[in-house]
Amino acid sequence: MNSDVENAIIGSVYDAGLDASLWPGVIGQIVEYTHSKTAILTALDQLNPNSNFVHTWNIPHAGIDDYQNEHGKLIDMRQYMPLWKQMGIGDVIHQNFPRYAELPDQDEGSFYEKCLKATGICYIAGVLLDQGEYRSAVLGVHRSANEPVFQQEELDFLKRIGVHIRRALQIHKQLSFARIENRNLYKMLDTIKVGIILIDEYSRFYYSNNRAQQLMEQNKIFEFDQHNKICVAKPYQKKFEQLVQAAQADHKYKNRDIGGVLALENAEGQQFMVTATPFSSMNSLANLADQELNYVVLSISDMEQRYALAVPFLKEVYALSARECEICELFVNGLNLEKIAENCSLTMNSVRTYVKNIYAKMHCCSQTELLHKLMGMTIHFEHVY
């Protein structure tokens, strides 16, 4: 495998995290690099449908239409989710499909006829990017019958690139929440619940969204020197500098992982997680910085950050009102009924009535059952190691 080509693909992955229209080109690079014929990248999340996408490379439109319209995705998930659950997020599988044609009356046969036959796909290698009760994300690359099966070095590459795609998907998800109401990137970044900071290759500060500003002002995670460079607490400074260096997109440093995650504490002992990723699409943040420099995005979250619920999902699936969603979010963050009443300026009787209605709509019989269900509908930023 070629480290220069691989690093270029990694840089493109992070660009696509900010601009989803770039994913087909990224997939094309992966297809070429792995000597594959076709590929598909799917990200499905019932809790955040605005982040859903299916991007392909060299797959006929008819095959994609059948995959989407003939419940191909459901068959796909039924076939592979048990296998993925055994292997875990970030793991890789490889399979061949000729036997599917011999099972016409089963899910496998239906999937072959509707989604595989037209494409000539015979061998597949895939990496699991995300999974949960309401979500899944997979990258799959494919070869035809007259091509060789995937080799271990190609599977190892998929595992490596999967880490970076998972990080990029976390950025994409956060932006999709904000994109509903805001088209300007600056406004979108300000509505994200994770802190976003943009620095250059010398750790000089260029931009932070509202959440990052709150974290810096209230928790003193970073300090600034006379050159406007950001620094962390002394025990973490060397690792932080290494992290920033590793996340640069210029590929000067070969044979090393790109980006990464750092856990750190401030002077008061509060814990935070920082993910560093390369950022090369400076056109996305117009009038911001020098195009000649390399830039790094820091995504920061407080380890004790409040839970946020998938409100659109709660409204659509359970018909919860805005007030009921607000009460659910306060409840999942540990507030009892008295505190909820105080926060919402409601009487205790009103809160009990709301909770009774929530129980009925969500088919729950106790606070424990409600909490368990709501915890499965929280939205958070995952720091991918």
Buried b (16+ CB within 10 A) or exposed e, 353-385: ebbebbeeebebeeeeebeeebeebebebbbbe
Distance CA(81)–CA(76), nearest Å, equals 8
Inter-residue contact 73 to 111 (CB < 8 Å): no
Residue entry with tokens 């509908």? 377
pLDDT in the model for residue 282: 45
Domains 3-179 and 185-302 share a fold: yes
For 190-246, give the DSSP string: HH-SSEEEEEETT-BEEEE-HHHHHHHHHH---EE-TTSBEE--HHHHHHHHHHHHH
Question: Can you give the residue ranges of every domain in the chain?
Answer: 3-179, 185-302, 308-379
CATH of 185-302, one of 3.40.47.10, 3.30.450.20, 3.90.1150.10, 3.40.50.300: 3.30.450.20
- Given 3-state DSSP classes, what are the helix, strand and coil percentages for the chain, each rounded to the nearest 5? 50, 20, 30
Does CATH place domain 308-379 in 3.20.20.140? no
Per-residue pLDDT of the chain (385 residues; tens, 9 = 90+): 788 888 889 888 988 888 888 999 999 999 999 999 889 999 887 666 667 888 888 876 655 665 555 444 544 555 555 666 677 888 998 887 766 667 777 766 776 776 667 677 788 899 999 887 667 899 999 988 888 888 999 999 999 999 999 988 888 877 776 555 445 555 656 556 788 888 888 888 887 887 888 888 777 888 888 777 888 888 889 999 998 888 875 645 455 677 788 888 887 888 888 988 887 654 455 444 455 677 888 888 887 667 778 788 888 889 999 999 999 989 988 888 999 999 899 999 999 999 999 999 999 988 888 888 887 777 665 666 5
Inter-residue contact 41 to 139 (CB < 8 Å): yes
Buried b (16+ CB within 10 A) or exposed e, 283-300: eebeeebeeeebbbbbbb
Q: What is the largest CA-CA distance in the chain?
A: 71
Inter-residue contact 216 to 318 (CB < 8 Å): no
pLDDT in the model for residue 70: 42
pLDDT in the model for residue 267: 79
Distance CA(135)–CA(52), nearest Å, equals 10
Continuous H helices in 234-304: 234-246
As assigned by CATH, the class of the 3-179 domain is alpha beta
The total of other beta-carbon atoms located within 10 Å of residue 109's CB is 16
Closest CA to 338 of 325, 348, 324, 352: 348
pLDDT in the model for residue 62: 59
Query: Helix 348-362 vs helix 322-332: angle between axes, to the nearest 10 degrees?
Result: 90
pLDDT in the model for residue 377: 77
> How many CA atoms does the CB half-sphere of 110 hold within 13 Å?
14
Residue entry with tokens 């935070």? 272
Contacts of 69 (CB under 8 A, 6+ apart): none
